[in-house]
Amino acid sequence: MTDVSRPPASDSGLDFLAEVSARTAGVSRLEMCIQCGTCGGSCPSADAMDHTPRMLFAMIRAGMREEALRSNTPWMCVSCYHCVVRCPQAVHIADVMYTLKGMAEDAKSYRDKTPPHFARVFVGQVEAFGRSWELGLTARHYLRHYILRLPRMTPMAIGLFLRGRIGILPHRIRQRKQLHAILRRAEELERVS
């Protein structure tokens, strides 16, 4: 298998493809896509997408960086992996979607701020506490983006609380310093590569 983490020297279109592959966990196999459309046909949220995954992959290979990073397609991916197990070329489709989300965030290229904000708040809490904190995450998120959903969400939150399913305070792991050191080092490596 070719080492996709090494970008080719020329051709700006392939540069973008190589960059996406390099930032994807595992070997993306994105260059193996045969444009069959099995991914879009298997996708439960394709209706809500600007581009089907097949189109998006064609755009990546054509070097359409801005359009690809602005597409809402990665944000609408529900990570159900139907496309991944059906793809005849074994492209790591869901992982490529994660990559594109990260690249779009770095480039601040998205039309709807809701999904990246949610991810950022979640990640911020995990970095601070070492655990996710459902109450803090949803409260902050709903106040910021879904103020109109709050009247319906409040009884639900109270119901969950009364049933012992919501912790009021975040759970903190003991070795937070160790975790921070690990994450900081990883972040530095990510910026270099």
Partner 1 sequence: MSRYLYYPGCSMDGSGRAYGESLTGVCEQLGVTLAEIDDWNCCGATEYVGVSLSPAYALIARNLAIAAKSKQNGEPLVAACSACYLNLAKADHYMKERPLLNEHVNVALDAGGLHYDPGTVEVRHLLEVIMNDVGLDQVRAKVVKPLAGLRVAPYLGCMLPRPDPDNRWKNHERPDDLDRLLAALGADVVDFPLKTECCGGHMTQIAPKVGLELIKRLVDEAEHHGADMMVTVCPMCQINIDAYQGEMNAMFHTKSKMPIVFFTQLMGIAFGLDPKKMGIGRELTDARPALKKIGKVPVAVAAEAGPAHRPRPDKRALPMPRMAESDEAPVSEAPAGEAPAGEAPAGEARQ
Residues that bind partner 1 (CB under 8 A): 5, 23-27, 44-45, 48, 74-76, 78-82, 84-85, 94-95, 97-99, 101-102, 105, 114-115, 118-120, 122-123, 126, 130-132, 134, 138, 141, 146, 149, 152-153, 156, 159-160, 163-167, 171, 173-175, 178-179, 181-187, 189-190, 193
Q: Min. distance of Cβ 88 from partner 1 in angstroms?
A: 14
Q: Min. distance of Cβ 74 from partner 1 in angstroms?
A: 8
Q: Min. distance of Cβ 34 from partner 1 in angstroms?
A: 19
Q: Which DSSP letter does residue 148 get?
A: G
Q: Which is nearer to partner 1, 35 or 132 (CB)?
A: 132
- How many other β-carbons are positioned within 10 Å of the β-carbon of residue 35? 12
Q: Among 109, 98, 102, 86, which Cα is nearest to 34's?
A: 86
Q: Which is nearer to partner 1, 64 or 126 (CB)?
A: 126
Q: Min. distance of Cβ 134 from partner 1 in angstroms?
A: 5
Q: Which is nearer to partner 1, 9 or 169 (CB)?
A: 169
Burial 153-190 (b: 16+ CB within 10 A, else e): eeeebeeeeeeeeeeeebeeeeeeeebeeeeeeeeeee
Q: Among 34, 14, 25, 27, which Cα is nearest to 89's?
A: 34
User: For the chain, percent helix, then strand, then coil, each to nearest 5?
Assistant: 65, 0, 35
